[in-house]
Structure formats: C-alpha cells, structure tokens
A and B are shown apart, each in its own frame.
Chain A
Amino acid sequence: MIHLSIKQTQEGLRNKEFTATELTQAYLDRIEQTDHKLNAFVTVTPEIALEQAKKIDEKADFSGILTGIPMNLKDVVCTDGIKTTASSKMLENFVPPYNAHLYDRLLDAGVILLGKTNTDEFTMGSSSENSYFGTSRNPWNLDYVPGGSSGGPAASVAGDQSVFSIGTDTGGSIRQPASLCSIVGLKVTYGRIPRHGCIPYASSFDTSGPMTKTVEDAALVLQAMAGQSEKDATTVDVPVPDYSQYLKTDLTGVKLGLPKEYFTEGVDKEVSDAVMQGVEVLKKLGAEITEVSLPLTKYAIPTYYMLVKSEGSSNMSRYDGVKYGHASDQAKELEEIYLKSRSEGFGDEVKRTIMIGTYALSAGYYDAFYLKAAKVRALMKREFDEVFKSCDALITPTSPILPFKIGEKVDDPLSMYMADILTTPVNLAGICGMSVPAGFSSNGLPIGMQIIANQFEEGKLFHVGHAFETATTWGSKKPQF
C-alpha cells in the first residue's frame, strides 16, 4: 500500500482495504527499514502519527480532501510541540509553540504527520549537503545528492516513505530536488499559500508547496493549503479555483513556449534531449509549440543571490542567542553572546549568506548590488509578462544538470548556485512552476521537465502536467535501493 498516490490511498481507505492505522504503521515500518540509507528524516513522530490515525479510524469518515494520508513536512515548517530544526545547530532543540498556518490547514484536511524531513541548513543550498544532520541521499543512486534544499522531502516521497511532503522553494528548492528524484514538485505563485510559521530565508521569495507522486496529488494538496490567510499579509485575495477541473488529458489549443535561453550551453545534452522528447509528446496531445525568448535569463543567478542573500542576512539577524535557539556557554558579555552563539550555531553556507548580504546592503555598495538587482528583477518580471501574452505556459528543463555526486560541489558555492539557473527566474517573477518526471539519463538518473505559468495560473500547470504524465510512464518508475 505504500507505493500508492493520494487518490489511490483514499480509495483504499474508503473501500476498507486497509485502515489508517495499518497504513500509518506500514509507512513507519518503511521509514524504519530505509532511512539509514536515505537519511530523509530529521525527526520521526510515530506516537503522533498513530494517535492521529486512530482518531481517523474511529471516526471512519474518509470524505475529507486528505483524510488519513500519511505525509511529512520539511523541517522548516513549525509544528506545535514537535522539534523544528531548519537542519541547523542553531535550532537543534527548538520546539515551536504554534503550528504553521499551512499545517493547520492540512490537519483540517485530515493528514497524518509521519515526521519532519531534512533540508540544507535554513533552506540555503541545492543538494541537502548543508544540513547539520548530514546529507540526504538520492534513492535512484545513494552516492548522489537528492537535490536541495528540499532533499529530505524529495527522497522521502521517491523512496515511498510518505505519500507526499511539503517543501519550500525560494529559488528552486522544491522543483530541483523533485527533478533529481523523479517526483512532482510544485512551486506556487508567491502569496498563494501562507508563509506563516515557515522559517524564512528570503521573505519576498519564499513559498511552500506540495511534493507528490502525481500531478493530480499536487492539485489536491494545493487545494487544501491555498488561499488568503489572516496570518500572512502577503497572501492575496485571489479566489482559489477547483483545481480538479484542470486535470484534463487533451492539450488542443494550449499554447506552449520554449524559451531558447533555457536550452543553451550549460544545459546537459541528456537533459535537453529528454525535455525535447517531452515536447514532442505535448505536441501529439494537441499543444501548439512556439519558440520564445527571455534574454535576461543569464542574469538570473546574480540577481537572485544578491537579493536573496541580502534578505537572508537580515532574516538571520534574529538568531542572537537571546530570544531562542543556540546560546554559547562560552560567552559572558552580551556582545560575546551574539558573536559566539551565531558563530557556533551557523554552518558555512549560512555564514556566506550573512556575509554576502551584509556586504550588498552596506553603505557604499547598496546601490551597486542590492538596488541594481531589485531593478533587474523588475525587468525580468516584465519579460515574463510579455511572453505570457502569447503563451499559456512555458516548457523548460528543471535542472540544467543531472544529479551530481555527494561532495562534488561542496567547496564551490558559485557552481552550486548555478544549479538553480533555470528555476530562480520563476521566483524572481513571483510566478508558478512545476517539475514533472521526464526521463532518465544513460546511467539511470532522473530528468525533470519544468512547466511555468503566470501568477495564480497553477491550473495551467496541472492541465499540462496531468496530460503529460498520463501520456508517459516516467513518473510510475520506482527506484531500487
């Protein structure tokens, strides 16, 4: 029963093929048997999961949108009474006193929480190697990274340790690991899902979203979480449609753009070949394909990290050894508490973020770095607006490269940043994107295809994605590990 999608699991529960308790126990057993290989989980919550399952079985009402579905949350989503570490020494023992609003919405929809999953520290990274709790591993080949920062969520779903997971995406952190692990990962429009209670990296970029086995599942999970929230003033008063109406298999009349800059040098040939084969599939389903151009794409990475590192350095200033989190026991004076607690509590990438951001925001450099990047961001947004006048959605590779080996890029931060070149533009423009499985390399590593649509057009992603996954078999393949 652990290989099933949300839809299939719900049928099993409604038809009494298994109980929520049996299902939950099966997932807990799977985690127990496999997590020494994947290291996807930071915390497993068997007591809570079994108690939630028992209540659901007693009620025996499986009509809710996600009733009885065992899942996990990336360990930056706050959970009342359950450790939430951001995979950092700084928050190693942090137990939040409230739930993230999105988790409350999921609980209302009936989910069962199996635990909290691994991430690059404070979501800063593209491989999950920056976790204080060690790297997660790719179920398709344990010597390779699962991507990041939502590496734990991706590995846990691909490895059948959960039906789905909630990741976060600031510059590709849902889509890139989804691509590297051959699952579906949805980055929603900025403000579509409340950020309340999600530990921030860069507040004008951060989004949370579903990581699932199918596109249909992603639509269900979004349905449960989307909408304006009184706890997040950046959520928007845009109606939430019934996403199931978009799950169609015919693409007649749908206009898809191929941005030529997303298929140039620097993109692995095996990746672009697989995506172009995917485009042929979309054509056969009735889509009209046109080439489009987004010339500012080559500036996406510096624009992105100048802004994100600036916002990140500002967000990290809350960790001071006073209010919560790690405090050095070597400090006497207040200044020492700040210096030592932060220096002991943060890992390398967080320190780099703080340093770059502090530099970019400092007097004398602010105009040249931060402000310049904020202007280029405005131009990139305009460029997408222009393209969406003639296209319903865009098709691109998700990651320019195949999964890489653990350790390969760990001392080369710029090369690690470049892994996000095809995903960061979506965050810069605040639009939505989804990675779907689109093939495998000659050595059996997953390749993802990214579908991009304008703000609040998640329905279009589901339409194209569902049609594609119905016409292909990539998403139903399972890793052996």
Chain B
Amino acid sequence: MLTKDDVKKIADLAKLQLSEAEIEKFLPQLQQILDNAKMLEEVDTEGVEPIAQITGVENMVYGDSVETENLAPLLLAQSPQPIERNMIKVSNIL
C-alpha cells in the first residue's frame, strides 16, 4: 500500500512540491493505477528481451558535415534566468 510518506518521497525525487490537498487527491489515484499494473504479473515473460526501439533501428550514422546555423544565442534568450557572458546565471545551490 502506498502511504502519504511514499507520495511525498516520490514527489521529492521528481522535484515536485505537492500541497496536502494534492497528496490527498493523488494518493488513491496512484494506488489504483499501480494496483492495475500488477496484472502484468500474470504474463509469462520468461526469457523475453525487453523492447524499446520498436522498428529495430540500431545506430544511425550521418556525414560529418559542418552546419552553419548557430542557434546558441536564440536558445540562451529562452532562459527566464539572467544571462551573463553567454551563460545562464542561476541562484545559490546552498
């Protein structure tokens, strides 16, 4: 059974800050979703390789050509934080 503390711990790992009301709301919903997923235990997957690339593509190699397009200043301009010397300035870590 999932507890409130579990929900808080998951939220913490996922860098989310949940209110008490959100925890109350999400707890039974997450419990129900995870309980439902337990039905996968019924499927025999002995010796089955997991799949993530569904069309079987492995390595794709492209020519080593120079792209002249420079998106860096445009991408930097997207930051909501201050920019200094072409870097994003962030607040104190501690």
Residues in chain A within 8 A of chain B (CB atoms):
94, 97-98, 189-191, 204, 230, 233-234, 236, 296, 298-299, 301-303, 305-306, 313, 317, 320-327, 331-340, 342-343, 346, 348, 351-352, 354-360, 362, 368-369, 371-379, 381, 413-414, 417, 428-430, 455
Q: Does B51 make an interface contact (CB < 8 A)?
A: yes
A332 and B94 CA atoms in complex are apart in Å by: 10
> Do B78 and A324 touch (CB < 8 A)?
yes
Residue ID in chain B nearest A382 by CB atoms: B48
**Count of inter-chain pairs, beta carbons less than 8 A:** 170
- For residue A360, which residues in chain B have a CB less than 8 angstroms away from its CB? 37
In the complex, which of the residues A323, A346, A356 contacts B88, with contact meaning CB atoms closer than 8 Å? A323
Whether B29 sits at the interface, judged by CB under 8 Å, is: yes
CB contact under 8 A between A378 and B50, given known A296-B43, A339-B15: yes
Task: Evaluate contact between B74 and A97: CB separation under 8 angstroms.
Answer: yes
12 A-B pairs with C-beta separation under 8 A: A191-B55, A233-B60, A301-B36, A322-B90, A339-B17, A343-B17, A351-B16, A355-B26, A369-B34, A369-B40, A372-B43, A375-B49
What B residues does A236 contact at CB under 8 A? 55, 57
Of A325, A342, A358, the most chain B CB neighbours within 10 A belong to: A358
Residue of B nearest to A332 (CB): B91
The answer on a CB contact under 8 Å between B43 and A374 is no
Contact A299 B22 (CB under 8 A): no
Chain B residues within an 8 Å CB radius of A377: 50-51, 54
Task: List chain B positions with a Cβ less than 8 A from chain A.
Answer: 7, 10-11, 13-18, 22, 25-26, 29-30, 32-34, 36-37, 39-43, 45, 48-55, 57, 60, 62, 71, 74-75, 77-81, 88, 90-94
List residues of chain B with CB within 8 A of the CB of A324. 75, 78-80
Minimal beta-carbon separation of B27 from chain A (angstroms): 10
Q: Is the CB of B51 within 8 A of A374?
A: yes
State how many angstroms separate the Cβ of B34 from the closest Cβ of chain A.
7
What residues of B have a CB within 8 angstroms of the CB of A321 in the complex?
Answer: 80-81
Contacts of A306 in B (CB 8 A): 37, 40
Nearest CB in chain A to that of B45: its residue: A375
Given contacts A189-B55, A343-B17, contact A375 B48 (CB under 8 A): yes
Task: Tell me the nearest residue of chain A to B37, going by C-beta.
Answer: A302
What residues on A are CB-neighbors of B81 within 8 Å?
321-322, 327, 337
Judging by beta carbons under 8 Å apart, are B30 and A355 in contact? yes
Which residue among A230, A348, A355, A358 has the maximum number of chain B CB atoms within 10 Å of its CB?
Answer: A355
